[in-house]
Amino acid sequence: MPFVQTSRIKLYVERAGGAGLPLLYISGTGGDLRVKPSAMDTPLAKVFDFVSYDQRGLGQSEKPPAPYTMADYADDAAALLDELGWKKANVIGYSFGGMVAQNLAIRHPQRIERLVLAATSPGGAGGSSYPLHELRAKPLDERIRAQVLLDARLSPADLEAPTPAIQMRFKMTNAMEERLASSPDVQAGFLAQIGARKGHDCWDGLAKLNMPTLICSGLHDLMARPEASRAMAKRIPGAKLRWYDGAHGFQLECPAFFDDVARFVRGEALAPNGLERFDEAG
């Protein structure tokens, strides 16, 4: 490390902790470990043998010619587990990473001890996440506004006199757009990723999973909607559903998320958080 040559692709990998249970973190759309804060800055990196990586086409990992498929991303993760010497690992996937984790669990179920799916959607009959591939056709200003409004607590009127919190969202979204425009390689990797994401559909395979699974969802998330989380929780046998009072970035809004993940990975019970009433009706 930090570069790992797998049987499929050369990946940029970071590892921390080392003393706890193995935990692989699969990041979201456009993920790049050089952008801070990253997964390596979360509390999970301190208490587990924690690994995260730049996915194909992104960050410092190899950038083979597109197109890519969701199976490519899943098989890359399995190949990384091989190189780490992990026959089985706990896996958390956030947003697009949750889609990859679903595909990994379906294609390589024997490799996963416990599975956390956060801010993600199953696709198909269970519901898809917001169509980012369609958003790319919009003008930049419109695109940024649309992304900021992927929070059910906000309306267009809120953007006319934005609070400091909304200003911060604009700043973060602008930074992401600037990074995507910074080089042809960065943009190509992102476009290949959202192209693969367009075809994500794990609905049939989720019903066959048998590893303990925790589904984490933001109540105000219009990127990966709460109804898709409910559908996944009903589809995966024995899955637990956990709500957070946030939108798509609830891991930043709700620090308790990391404690819940740590408890789940250790096989400990989660304490009630007062949002269980949303499990069924919303």
Predicted local confidence at residue 180, as pLDDT: 87
Q: Is 39 exposed, middle or buried (0-12, 13-18, 19+ CB in 10 A)?
A: buried
pLDDT for the residue 281: 55
- Position 139: which residue type? P
Question: CA nearest 259: which of 244, 277, 274, 239?
Answer: 244
Minimal CA–CA distance to 160: which of 149, 147, 150?
A: 149
Place of tokens 């470990």: 33
Mean pLDDT value across the chain: 95
Alpha carbon separation from 89 to 47, 84, 149, 227 (Å, rounded): 15, 10, 36, 28
Q: What pLDDT is attached to residue 188?
A: 94
β-bridge mates for residue 13, sequence order: 53
pLDDT of residue 279: 84
pLDDT of residue 1: 67
Counting as low any pLDDT under 70, the low residues of the chain are 1, 281-282
Q: pTM for this structure?
A: 0.96
What's the pLDDT score for residue 181? 86
